[in-house]
Each structure stands twice: as structure tokens, then as C-alpha cells.
Structure 1
Amino acid sequence: MDLWVAIAGFGVGIVVGLTGMGGGALMTPLLVLVFGVAPLSAVSSDLVASAIMKPFGGAVHMRRGTVDKRLVLWLCAGSIPAAFGGVFIAKAVDAEGMSQVIQSLLGGALLLAASGLVLKAWFGLRDQARAAADPSLREVVEGTLKPVSVRIIPTVLVGAVGGLVVGVTSVGSGSLIVIALMALYPALRPQQLVGTDLVQAVPLVGAAALAHLLFGDFQLALTVALVIGAVPGVLLGAAVSSRAPGGLIRAALTVVLTASGLKLLGADTVVVGYATGALVLLIPAVWVLARRHHGLPLRTAQIPAARAPEVPAEQVHAA
């Protein structure tokens, strides 16, 4: 077993648990470019490792109540059969050419999604400033998780497209679905977005992994090293994301979306590293400047939870 592969798996597991995405977009290029693994072996082993890793992160979010089970059901209705189909399509046509086209399109979509997160955060700060000036505008308490109205047909189609892409490239079980969920359900909280995406990815990646076990180039030693590192990583990341403030998760999503998008578009690993480091340094500074621009304090005041009225001890004894 390669210790460095396990360490890489731990790092990617943290990213997946924290953001619900980035597993295939980060791990597959790492295996190919850094560890010299053959592309088909990297795809097959990465998918099998993800099928083992993601249930751990999904279980954390299930316990925290940050999963919309109806969305998971309808996404899986489209993604599971499409994941099998993607593997067979890759065998029947020029898989390498199709993979390059899909990865380029997905890379562009990830960069657009990162830009959308930045704009959403900006408008969110504007709304907070308005609510601070006029308390009657405060309709939703930060942290309140509400169910959304499910749009069945678009959700099934999103699952089908995501499953097809995963079957061909191993990329997209998190990235593509996160983008689509953000567009279809803007009312989803970041915790719900991550939790729902992690849980729906379990059967999706499982279906694609089974197909690659049968028709791919699965390597046991490589997969074991990935799993040993990724499982504790995804548990740690999921535990943080299920409790972390929405702004922290949005910042992490922005970094992972940008890094994954650049890598899928063919950027050099060094360029991706510099871009990621720059974002990590710039995001806190930009956040401070944006809050000052909108006249907001740097720390958001916590709204105390409602408490039940205290019952006098005499009444308790009388009852």
C-alpha cells in the first residue's frame, strides 16, 4: 500500500465531506498526474473508493437532519440507470474523446458556478443589511432548515445527466449535481446542499463502481490505500460541514469549484495550486471589505433560540 496515496485520499476525503464535491475532479487527476496511475485504473479505483467513502459522510448529514430525502429519491431515479449506461457508452464509442468534451464542459460549468456563489454571497450581504435596517424584512432566521418544493421532472433529468457523466469520466457525482441543485433550488441552505448531494451520490457512485468492477481496470491495493485515507477524511469534513456556518461552506465550495474547474479545463497543476492558494488568502479579505461596504459588523449576531416558559415548582408538584 502506498502511504502517500492514503494521505492524498485523506485530503480529498475532507474536501468531499466538507463540500459534497470534488472527489473525482481532484482524486482522478492526482492519481494520473502525481502517482502515474493509468487513466482507466484511476477512474475504476477512484469510483470504488468513493462508493465506500461517501456513505460515511452521508450518514453524518442524515443524523444532523441536513438531507432532503425527496430530492435524493428523484435524483437517484435518473442517475442509477444512467450510470450503468455511461460505462457501456464509453465502451461503444471513442471514450477518450467523449471524456475530454464532457470534462471541458464541466470545467466551464464549475467556474460559472463559483462565480454564481460569489454573486449570491454579495446579494445575501445586501439583504442582511436591509434586514438590519428594517427588522420587518427578516423572514428567515439564519440556520433554519426548511423543505423545498420538489420539481420532479427536472430533478430526474439532472440525476440522469449526472449519472451519465459519472459513468464515462468518474467526475460529476458531486460537482455537476451541486451546480444543478443550486440552480433548481436556490432556497436550499448550504448544509442541505452538501448533505443531499452526498447522500444521492452513494447509489449513483455505487452503480458506476459496480459497472467498472465488471468492465473497468480495478486495482485492489490502490483502492485500499484510497479508502484508508478517505474514510476518516470524509467523516471529519462532514462533521464540520453539518455544523459550520453557511458562509464557511460557501467559501469552501467556491475554492473547490474553481480548482476543479481549472483542472478539468487542462490547467497545469502548479497553476491550480497558485490559484487555490490565492483564493484562500483573498476570500477572507474580500468578505471583510464586502461587509464593511454594506455597513455590517464583521461578526453576525446570533439570534437566541426560543425557550419554553418556566413553570413554577408549586404547579409542578400540584400536577
Structure 2
Amino acid sequence: MHDLFTIDALDVLIVSFGIGIVVGLTGMGGGALMTPALIFLGINPTAAVANDLVAASVNKSVGAAVHWRHGSPNIQLALYLILGSVPFAFVGGFIVHDLGSDAEDFLTYAIGGALLLAAASYTLRMYLQLRLVTGGNEAPSGEVVLRPVITLAVGALGGLLVGITSVGSGSLIMVALLLLYPTLSAVKLVGTDLVQAVPLVLSAAVSHWINTGVDWAILIPLIIGGSPGTFIGARMARWISQSVIRRGIVIVLTLTGLKMLGVSPTWVGIVGAGMLLLGPLLWGFVRQTRGIPAFDNNSGAWRLPESSDQAK
């Protein structure tokens, strides 16, 4: 119990609260941000993945409940994703366990690669949303035509990735949904992803709990900080611009991924400086190719019925 009142536990609580807000706000960034954050706080990769998954199963339930209350998730779509993801997520923990003494090195590189993939998927999502909005698309009100087989496959691949690295439940799957269902509104995308992520993450968490166990001194601060953060973020999702947040996440994930893959700090710094300085210019050029000003202060996601935000 004494471990719960240490500076380290306070660090975990503060970080989990901030990341919880991002998860509730965007439906993205939970494992992609929390797992490497735990590793950088000095927690070994195996324990970081296991504890983050168990905490995420609680924290994501809070965000899903808020979105469910507002009627935003597409339940049938979420069910197809769950059917594909849950069994493969459960297998992930056993794969990590079977690696034995090689698990930590494997997870470090696997998480690094998953973070770079997540960063690329975030960037793709922002571009797709910009293209849809500048094409005159508003958030639709009609029914979405489901594609069961490919949706099950997305769930299976996403579940396996989450089961091994804890990364992907709110990033890669979200982008896959946007590609498969471009007429699904932004709020329904976030709500659907959060609803399907609960059993997905819970399945992976149970698997890791069986094989690795959990550290209560890590898990309790993760839940205490993450749950209210996710609740606040989910309540803010309808009126806070998410575009700038996503661009920041892309930079953080890229630099974190490079660091975990063993890239030297010098090159990580060079890449970071380049993204900070050249990123806005490149995004401005992309905006101009879509016929809108290079820079402005409005949102880049789909406009919701109650919002007057423009493309960013």
C-alpha cells in the first residue's frame, strides 16, 4: 500500500489523467501514449503493457458510457469488430508470455514499430477528413451499409496488435473505420470505436493478467487518473477541435517510436525539429491543394449537425 503514496505513483496518476482526456476527446491515443509513457517512467515493457491494458478496460468503459448515452455509437458495426478482435486480443498475451526472457526486447521494438504505424494512420485520417470536408460532405444522418467480412478482419488484426503491444484499439482501428465507412459521422466514429474497444481491451487485459499479473501500485493510479480524464474528454468531444490535438499526437508518437526503436537522440531531435518547423508548412500546402487557405484556426474534422466549424 505504501507504494501508492510515492512520487512515482503520483507521476503515473498525472500522466494517466492527461492521456485519459485525449482518449475521451478523440477515441485515440490510449495505449499508443500510455504504454510508452509508463516505459519512460521506468516500468519494464511487459508490466507496462499488462497494467495499461487492465486500466484501459476500465477507463475506456467510462468514455464508451458517455458516448452511448448520447446515442453516438453504431452498435451493429461495433459488434462485428468485437467478434473479430476479442479472440485475437486474448491470444496476444500468450504470445508475449511464450517469448520468455526475450519478451521485453521484443515488446520494445514491437511497440516502437506500432507507434510509427499509429502516427502514419493518424496523418492519413486527418488528410481523409480534410478531403471529405472540403468536398462538401456534412455529417450524414442515414444508415451506414456494413461490410461484415472486412470489418471482422480489421477487428482480428487490430485485436492481435492490441493483445501484443496494447497499441491500436483507438488509432489503427479508428482509421480503418474511416476508410471503410467514410459516411459515418465523426462522433459516431469515436463512439463506435470506444464501445468496441471495451471488450477488446478487456480480453487482452485478462490474457496478460493470467500470464503476467498486475502491479497494483501502477494499476490503481492509472485507473484513478484515467477514468475522470476519459470522462471529461468524452464530454468535451462535441465542442473541442480535435485537429490540432491529432497533429500533436502524430509528432509525439513519431518521436517516441523512433526512440524505442533505438534511434539516437540526435536524430530524434532532428526529426522532431523538422516536424515542428516543416509540418505546418506541409499541411498548409495540402490545404491549398484542396482549395482552402493554408492556415486558419478552425476544425479539420467533419462538421457535426450542431457545429459550424470549418475545415482546418
TM, length-normalised to structure 1: 0.77
Task: Give per-residue Cα distances to partners, 1:4-32, cap 9 Å, x unaligned.
Answer: 21111100100111111211111111111
After TM superposition, the structure 1 = structure 2 runs for residues 48-67 of structure 1, keeping only pairs within 5 Å, are 48-67=54-73
Relative to 1, partners in 2 of residues 1:83 and 1:214: Cα closer, same or farther, differing over 3 Å? same
Task: Give per-residue Cα distances to partners, 1:79-98, cap 9 Å, x unaligned.
Answer: 11111111112222454565
Task: Give per-residue Cα distances to partners, 1:187-207, cap 9 Å, x unaligned.
Answer: 222212111111111001111
Is residue 2:13 matched to residue 1:6? Answer: yes
Which is further off, 88-97 or 209-218? 88-97
Instruction: Letter of the 2:205 partner, please give it.
Output: A
- Aligned residue in 2 for 1:312: none
Instruction: Letter of the 2:12 partner, please give it.
Output: V
Relative to 1, partners in 2 of residues 1:181 and 1:257: Cα closer, same or farther, differing over 3 Å? farther
- Aligned residue in 2 for 1:176: 172
Relative to 1, partners in 2 of residues 1:103 and 1:222: Cα closer, same or farther, differing over 3 Å? closer
Relative to 1, partners in 2 of residues 1:65 and 1:290: Cα closer, same or farther, differing over 3 Å? farther
Is residue 2:257 matched to residue 1:264? Answer: yes
Instruction: Letter of the 1:103 partner, please give it.
Output: I
Instruction: Letter of the 2:70 partner, please give it.
Output: R
From the CA coordinates, give the structure whose radius of gyration is larger: 1
Distance 1:173 1:101 in 2: 18
- Aligned residue in 1 for 2:309: none
Distance 2:19 2:133 in 1: 30
Distance 2:270 2:223 in 1: 25
Shift in Å, 1:153: 0.8
Is residue 2:123 matched to residue 1:115? Answer: yes
Instruction: Letter of the 1:73 partner, please give it.
Output: L
Given candidates 235, 238, 249, the residue that maps to 1:239 is: 235
Contact 1:87/1:208, CA 8 A, preserved across alignment: yes
Given candidates 227, 230, 246, the residue that maps to 1:253 is: 246
Relative to 1, partners in 2 of residues 1:251 and 1:298: Cα closer, same or farther, differing over 3 Å? closer
- Aligned residue in 2 for 1:15: 22
Shift in Å, 1:143: 4.2
Shift in Å, 1:169: 1.2
Distance 2:187 2:200 in 1: 20
Aligned residues: 285
Secondary structure of the residue that 1:49 maps to in structure 2? helix
After TM superposition, the structure 1 = structure 2 runs for residues 198-237 of structure 1, keeping only pairs within 5 Å, are 198-237=194-233
Report the aligned-residue RMSD. Answer: 3.4
Distance 1:68 1:272 in 2: 42
Percentage identity across paired residues of the two chains: 39
Unaligned runs of 5+ in 1: 129-139, 306-319
TM, length-normalised to structure 2: 0.78
Contact 2:284/2:293, CA 8 A, preserved across alignment: no
Secondary structure of the residue that 1:90 maps to in structure 2? helix
Unaligned runs of 5+ in 2: 307-312
Question: Segments of 4+ in structure 1 off by > 4 A?
Answer: 267-277, 289-293, 295-300, 302-305
Distance 2:66 2:272 in 1: 32
Is residue 2:35 matched to residue 1:42? Answer: no
Distance 2:116 2:298 in 1: 34
Distance 1:77 1:21 in 2: 21
